């Protein structure tokens, strides 16, 4: 009787998961098929399409694309994870030490702003700096007598731009968690250290950082679990989908999107998505295993 | 004060310590404080400066802009861009309406689905709680990926060019459920539920009359995550929407940007400037960005504390 009430509560949500999460999981068998749309609908299309085994995967890995998108995805994520960690912890520690708490609060609110904006809006921000004829960067370059740069077709600058923008957008978000953790550290540690004559720097080095370490490790390992996924908007919207920049902006997510919408290659796009999901799953499980080893309470599963 | 302590400081080491103590316990030195303030202040400024810059551009005269480029202090200021939008911004108004509808309906559905689901799996006397927890959390481990999801939405549900394509794919996710379930288990005491049961309340009555009111901060957190997600969404529209009447704000901004690029690229040599001038000009586009961002920019300082609460719950504790 009671259980029936719970089942009624859980049912609509469960239906959503079945339709929007589990049905697509079943659909990944398209990766092993030569997908053709049949008039009988989705199930019939999936079932009646011809099996081609690993052909779609062979095709994917025979191109240079597979290497480039994997390399870009992993390198950008590694950069964002580690620099993001350093930035978030540094910001949190400094903001915690500022004498004027009111100012600190204002800084935090300002830093949080980019997190609340979409990549579309941010791409307009970026354009106001990088526009070839009107942008701020080229105005400065020309003021000093240089030649204007065609930013949206020069690959060399974009790895730096993308990493900086990713860090910039996530800084406010990232520092909040560490700020909360620092606030939770027992004050008496610092008082004892102070009496022993420890400088501020020593206190940070021997008290704050070691006490933040478990959280740092856990959040980093969890982020590494998602290293095969990337923020689509950063790599697609911000460079304005510029073809000249693909060598440095194409990641697995944008590759799958373009495969689906421009080339219409359903089989290979699904295969790429499956490659992403399977490697992602393995990484998440490894990451969780590592968390369990380090700090059992923090393991997700 | 520093003048007074100067001789003492020189006198002996222990006195130096007592001087430090006389300042607020264990504070950093005033000099470091200034340096840190400048560093963090500059970074904080870089986070809001681009938005201020876009506002300035939107008030710049179009001709001045064409000659001088984007300037922080334009020579001629004007309200033309906003006037233009007032008079001929039907598409903008339409898209505003779509975004607003999607955000309101989507958030309402999200709150209904997430709270009911999370409440059920938070109760220990629910027999299948383990199964349904797994059903939700497994989706964080593995997903079908973009293409199968796209095919389900278009071929199975036939939602292409429907407003539901903007809402349904994003109304649930396992992260919301984790945050909400953690909130229920930590803030709703079992004793309260037990006593309500003794008083003869039904499970549904307990949920609506006792649990939901206690959990308002958690609901606010999820509601804000969801509102922001729907307001900023453009990906679903990029995939599923062709009909101009159903384009949300963010996607409208993408389309204008792309059209403009196309015209500029193809007109610079052959076609006269006239064709380009019938499209929204640079300043009008920036004014649209300002209008699309303003609600978020004005509201987020008030939301921030709920976000911080949600972040701390969601990431620090399981």
Q: Are B232 and A118 inside 8 Å of each other by CB? A: yes
In this model, does residue B5 exceed pLDDT 80?
no
> pLDDT digits over A2-19, tens only?
788 899 999 999 999 999
Q: How confident is the model at residue B167 (pLDDT cuts 50, 70, 90)?
A: very high
Please give the structure tokens belonging to residue B176.
């919301």
Q: Could you tell me which chain B residue has the CA closest to the CA of A286?
A: B141
With beta carbons less than 8 A apart as the criterion, state whether A256 and A265 touch: no
- The Cα B207–Cα B193 span in angstroms is 9
pLDDT at B258 > cutoff 70: yes
Residue contact B30–A14, C-beta within 8 A? no
pLDDT tens digits along A224-281: 888 999 999 999 999 998 889 999 999 999 999 999 988 878 888 999 999 999 998 9
Residue of A nearest to B51 (CA): A125
B280-289 per-position pLDDT tens digit: 678 888 999 9
The Cα of A164 is separated from the nearest Cα of chain B by a number of Å equal to: 12
The DSSP bridge pattern shows strands A50-51 and A33-34 to be antiparallel
Q: Residue A2: how many CB atoms within 10 A of its CB? A: 13
Report chain B residues whose CB lies below 8 A from the CB of A7: 120, 128
For residue range B63-103, what is the model confidence (pLDDT) as tens digits? 888 888 898 888 889 998 898 888 878 888 999 999 999 99
pLDDT higher at A167 or B13: A167
pLDDT above 80 for B16: no
Interface residue A284 vs chain B (CB under 8 A): yes
Q: Using one digit for the tens of pLDDT, what is the confidence trace for B215-237?
A: 888 899 899 999 999 999 999 99
> What is the pTM assigned to this prediction?
0.87
| Mean pLDDT, rounded, for A112-128 | 94
pLDDT digits (tens, 9 = 90+) for A57-81: 988 888 888 999 999 999 999 999 9
How many CA within 13 A on the CB side of residue B157?
23
Q: Of the segments B17-21, B52-56, B306-310, which one has the largest average pLDDT value? A: B52-56
- Tokens standing for B222? 């999820």
Mutation site for B-interface testing, chosen from A121, A203, A218, A255 by largest number of B Cβ within 10 Å: A121
Tokens representing A265 are: 């290659």
Predicted local distance difference test score (pLDDT) of residue A206: 93
Please name the residues in contact with A284: beta carbons below 8 A apart, sequence gap of 6 or more.
Answer: A225, A226, B140, B141
β-strand partners of B60? B77
Query: What value does the mean pLDDT of chain A take?
Result: 90
Q: Locate tokens 């359903």: which residue? A: A266
**Listed ranges B50-59, B136-145, B194-203, B267-276; the one with the highest mean pLDDT:** B50-59
């Amino acid at each position: 009787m009671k259980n029936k009430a719970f089942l009624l509560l859980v049912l609509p949500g469960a239906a959503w998961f079945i339709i929007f999460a589990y049905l697509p999981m079943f659909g990944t068998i398209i990766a092993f098929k030569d997908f053709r749309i049949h008039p009988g609908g989705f199930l019939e299309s999936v079932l009646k399409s011809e099996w081609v085994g690993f052909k779609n995967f062979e095709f994917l890995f025979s191109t240079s694309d597979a290497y480039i998108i994997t390399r870009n995805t992993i390198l950008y994520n590694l950069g964002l994870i580690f620099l993001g960690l350093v930035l978030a912890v540094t910001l949190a520690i400094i903001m915690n030490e500022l004498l004027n708490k009111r100012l600190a609060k204002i800084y935090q609110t300002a830093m949080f702003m980019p997190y609340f904006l979409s990549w579309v809006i941010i791409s307009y921000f970026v354009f106001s700096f990088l526009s070839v004829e009107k942008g701020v960067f080229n105005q400065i370059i020309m003021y000093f007598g240089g030649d204007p740069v065609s930013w949206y077709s020069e690959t060399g600058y974009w790895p730096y731009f993308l990493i900086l923008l990713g860090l910039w957008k996530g800084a406010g978000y990232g520092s909040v968690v560490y700020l909360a953790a620092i606030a939770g550290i027992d004050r008496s540690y610092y008082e004892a250290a102070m009496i022993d004559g420890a400088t501020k720097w020593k206190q940070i080095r021997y008290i704050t950082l070691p006490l933040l370490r478990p959280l740092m490790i856990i959040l980093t390992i969890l982020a590494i679990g998602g290293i095969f996924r990337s923020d689509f908007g950063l790599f697609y919207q911000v460079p304005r989908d510029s073809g000249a920049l693909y060598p440095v902006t194409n990641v697995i997510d944008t590759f799958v999107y373009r495969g689906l919408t421009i080339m219409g290659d359903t089989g290979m796009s699904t295969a790429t998505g499956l490659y992403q999901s399977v490697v992602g799953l393995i990484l998440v499980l490894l990451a969780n295993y590592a968390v369990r080893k380090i700090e059992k309470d923090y393991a997700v599963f | 004060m520093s003048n007074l302590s100067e001789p003492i400081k020189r006198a002996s080491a222990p006195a130096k310590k007592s001087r430090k103590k006389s300042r607020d316990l264990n504070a950093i030195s005033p000099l470091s404080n200034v340096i840190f303030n400048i560093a963090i202040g500059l970074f904080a400024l870089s986070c809001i400066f681009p938005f201020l810059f876009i506002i300035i551009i939107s008030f710049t005269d179009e001709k001045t802009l064409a000659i001088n480029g984007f300037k922080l202090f334009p020579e001629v200021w004007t309200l033309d861009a906003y006037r233009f939008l007032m008079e001929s911004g039907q598409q903008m108004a339409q898209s505003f309406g779509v975004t607003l509808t999607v955000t309101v309906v989507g958030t309402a559905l999200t709150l209904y689905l997430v709270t009911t689901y999370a409440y059920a799996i938070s109760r220990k006397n629910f027999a299948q709680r383990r199964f349904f927890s797994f059903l939700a959390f497994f989706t964080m481990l593995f997903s079908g990926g973009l293409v199968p999801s796209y095919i389900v939405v278009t071929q199975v549900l036939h939602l292409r060019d429907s407003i539901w394509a903007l809402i349904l794919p994003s109304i649930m996710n396992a992260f919301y459920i984790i945050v909400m379930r953690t909130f229920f288990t930590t803030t709703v005491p079992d004793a309260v539920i037990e006593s309500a049961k003794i008083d003869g309340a039904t499970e549904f009555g307990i949920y609506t009359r006792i649990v939901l009111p206690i959990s308002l901060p958690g609901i606010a957190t999820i509601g804000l995550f969801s509102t922001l997600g729907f307001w900023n969404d453009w990906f679903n529209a990029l995939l599923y929407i062709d009909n101009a009447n159903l384009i949300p704000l963010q996607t409208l901004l993408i389309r204008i940007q792309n059209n403009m690029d196309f015209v500029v690229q193809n007109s610079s040599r052959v076609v006269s400037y006239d064709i380009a001038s019938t499209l929204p000009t640079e300043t009008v586009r920036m004014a649209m960005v300002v209008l699309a961002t303003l609600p978020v920019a004005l509201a987020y300082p008030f939301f921030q504390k709920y976000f911080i609460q949600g972040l701390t719950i969601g990431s620090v504790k399981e």
